[in-house]
Structure 1
Amino acid sequence: MSRTFLPWINRSLSSSKLPPLGCNFSTSLSQPFNSPRSLQILPSSHPNPLYHLLPPTQNPSQLVDLICTSLKRPDCDLSVLRNNLGNLLPRLNTSDIGRVLLRCQSDYASALTFFNWVKNDLCIVPGVYNYCLVLHILSWSRQLGQAMELMTELFKSVRNEIPKEDVFRVLVVSSEECYWDPVVFDILIKAYLKIGSVREAFRTYLKTTELGFAPSVISCNFLIDRLLKVNDIEQCWVVYGIMGRVGIHPNSHTFNILTNVLCREGDVDKVNEFLERMEEEGFDPDIVTYNTLLRSYCRKGRLEDAFRLYSVMSIRRVNPDLVSHTTLINGLCRADRVREAHNLFNQMLHDGLDPDGLVYSTLIYTYCKEGNMKESKLLLREMIGRGIFPDDFTCRVMMEGYGREGNLISAINLVVELERLGVPLSKEIYDHLIISLCDESRPFAAKNFLDRICAEGYVPSMCIYYKLIEALCSNDSVDEALILKAEMIEKGKLPNLGSYKSLIGSLTRTGRSKEGELLMEEMNGLGVMPDHEICRALIHGFCKEKNVARAESILETFAAKFGVIDHESCNALIWVIAEDGDANALMELQNRILKMGYAPNRTSYKYIILGICKAATPHKGKLHELWICRRPEQFLRPA
């Protein structure tokens, strides 16, 4: 856009008249306003005729003159001015601010200094009109960076006052008062895009072109690119169409963005037609264009078309770069053609291109997925040899690959090797290995690995402790699990309910039910409430140890103290008494469990009837033998 002064522009926006200077812009934009064209005929904000009798520093009508005079001095000090005009400054309003800015429009530094002084030192909130005047002054003086910052500040200031699209109207109307440059509309579009208001930027673009101004091709490119990112494909073509209509000549960057738009639409066949149009405009497709197409072909699985285009690149003297090869290698790997991908990788090295971590990671991932850990490790070593450290994803892929092959020891050895080479490993890698060892029922290997990395600064999380305790208990290594629990408590980390379940379950399975009961009391003291599974484990343990009295006491404690009514635990106790064939003991137990709040179920009655039958049978065999001889239905059939 060229610099211009157009007093007629206000007539093109007859519905966008501003209220008089000094009025709040948010009141109305439809009030009539005949904008004066020179500063001398600006209406005075203080028409009182008696003001001329006052000294200049106390005369409100002299406020603007005094400020402007001070700003023109080489040794301008606004703090001194503030002291001299202490009584007048409270009268400074948005109309006065505008008058001062208009007088300073040929000196952008003075205008900006005054504007910041008003905002920051006097704590006066300038109006939207004041902001727009400063924006015109800055853009006319080609201070575009400062104009962009001020435009962003304006958006924040009017966010809760008026719709942001009204800023365009104020910019247009305020241009009647001062020298201006249409580049201000470029700044407006870019500022909207900078804050993420793509829709407002698009509307501003439409309004700017409707007035007959042509935004820069850079602004158009930014707008198309942002519209593409929000997936507004239709509006991308609207912007491009308007560019041709108003005479904005696209550049290679424009065509590259639009190529991406075509690929996003999914109609890759239209790309050839578009490339021909691009060549008609005098632009040859560059490496960005070809890489965009290659990426689209590979994403859609059209590898043959991608390699055909790859061949065309060399014919057209566009040498494929690292991005081109990475895209093709990724496409081949996604199609499980890893050997071809590796051959292309070697060709890339032969052509003198230095691979990056992404290429290596892609090949390593694909080899690991195929279970070829040998080739993966060779690539990993080659990668490190080139000074490229693998990222967390690559290391995790290697660990998972060894895990799928059931070779976690090799994974641990790889960790040691990576640490020796100075490759940083994340905490998630260590967590994954410990959990994988536990899942493979190798808790001692996991514990040894944990001890080693803890010595190097690793801090295990709670879930790692929980997993180790569970794995040790599953292997009936309860003593080691208890030591680990003690370490947790010493470090201020309390075991959870699952850990206590594992510990108590392991203790009761190994004939140490009394220790399990003490552990239950400990967890209760720490505020962890036991549940029916712990009740069941303890009762089964005591019953297995023939300590029926203690089992009954546990059953009563869980019912009375914890409100846990577990019928399976109750039936386990009934079974033990029934197996002894003592009918009186069975009846007494039934009465006691009724008082505890248990209502015998079908299984309870089966066990009780079988116990009574055994007491009445001369042959005192095992209760389960009687159960085999007679089906349960026989005992429950009515007489």
Structure 2
Amino acid sequence: MPAAPPRPIRPLQPSARFSTSTFVRDAGAVAVSEPEDDILDEPKTLPASVQSPFLDPTIIPPEPIKAFRELYDQYRDSNRPEDHEKTIAAYESLTEDPDLLAQLQPIDFMMAMNSCRDRYRVIPRMRRMLDTAIASGHGNIPELYHIILKAYVRLSDFSSCRNLLRLMLRRGIKYNTATYHVMLDLCKHRKNLGEAVQILEQMRRDQVEVTSITYLIMITICARVKNAALALEYFNEMPLLNIEHDVTHYNALLNAYAHSRDLAGASKVMRMMEEDGVPKDEYTYTAMVKALWNSGRKEDAEALVKGLYEARTPPNAQILAANAIEPMEILIRCNKYKVKLSQHDFNMMIIHTLKKNKFSNVPKLIEEMKKHGHGPNNLTFTAMIDADIKMGKYEEARDVFQAMKRANIQPDVIVYSAMISGALSQSTIQESLALLRAMIDDGLLPNLHTFNSLLSSSVGEIGIDGFKTIRETMASLGVRPDQRSFNSFMSAYALGGNLDEMLRSFDDMRRCKVKPDALTYSILISGFLQNGDLRYAMEWYYKMMEGGFKPAVFVLNNLMAALHGSGQGQQVLVMWHEINRMGLRKDEQSFEIVLEACEKYGLDEARPQIEEELKTFLATRFLVEQHSKRAD
């Protein structure tokens, strides 16, 4: 606890009264952050040999169940996927025997579900295990749901996480502290401090226990959004509730000041740790080095790192990275001073290497990772696939994706979305659709961005049936189309000549309370023009104008051409004057259409002025072209 008395605590005023039902309503956008250690508490189910509220020790298990628990204890910390598959196979053999299934306790289902973590097709496996647990009479235990919720968070499937939270409410399962921690972790990933504050207030109203982990997550969220002042208030609030600080809370507060570029605040936290007798760890020094760098004190940061070497406590990879040391140099220094490198350290170095486009160093880092007893995990593969896609190397990304599955590691939403986008730009729409189906089969929910990427394909590539399939898939998964989605649907139907479906999509758009934009009306106008219906095209043009939207010149050109073709020369002039009134920039086609109309329909009075405008247009274009050539 700080030596100085805590600051007065400002009451936290949420913008609106929070309820769990409103929290799980919308998925929202997700901000991808740098990797960090998971700070959520795991269910107290591991190992099976210790006392647990999910195990009744008075019940003597039959030998097969006892053997399953021993197998789990043997492999629970293994890095080898095949070891966990043995545990899962043992569980499945138990469920095939009705007598043994009836004797399984909640901890057995939790052990089986935890054995699936990060394995390929983890979600379908866990969901089947949850269904079996529910059928066995254990469906009211929130901790069973928490394991799946955390899997969704790890896989960046935040929409499915919210859907499962909704399901818990519908089943009457009361949220406990760990449930709220998952909700707060979603806020952490989305950098949504306002919602996190509301969740904390809801915990207090519902008299759900607030723990040191609750405050650690809150302070971490404050750090993410650079709100050091509120982070300090939460830190000071803890002793008032008899919640003790530990080094993680000091480090989180220090990080908040580092992200806020507040070196004075960061230095104050360091002094507080000394006064309170809290030993500093590698995360403390990492945050302090960041604070110095962010404040432009590069020399002081280097001096701090040098001091650690002199004190014979060589800095780890995270501290060196914060001091802007290159990944390969970090590897050399850590090996020289025998500093232990974790899988997280290697992933950090690989990500930084990829960002620097030093791809040739990645195999070396992976080889070193294996020498240190670690293998590539989800984060490793995700970073490599993302880098390949951004560099336009889809074939290489596909190879890494296949290697990921062969390694029995589940691709997450980020990987699938990247692969779908890559296939769209460098392969085929059919491969993108196959990836979408695989993603859904893996139990992951594609987000709106993924669907819109698919819908951006041309009708010739995907076909009308393909668009219908995507639309039906979105509906079945509960993904609501947005403005971009509806415009894609209408454009596809317009190009296919299916005007009834085009109008039905527009009606659906209004029913979903999605506002049309200028492109929406342009699609409707173009759809009717392409099918020779000038009257309806003009009706939608007037509706567009009534809605306050300004059409693009190509829309007006198409309308003028249609009016010209239907013998309405005077209306062509009216449309020409509309272009002038709206201050739109005409193109060569605009002049060509209106001058042809003047000649055909004897509009001699208007012709001289239009020809003068054409001369000005051509002269201006010539000057612009000459200027561009000189600039080149």
Tell me the TM-score normalized by structure 1. 0.47
RCO greater where, 1 or 2, for CA within 8 Å and sep 6 or more?
2
Q: TM-score, normalised by structure 2?
A: 0.47
Indicate the structure (1 or 2) with the bigger Cα radius of gyration: 1
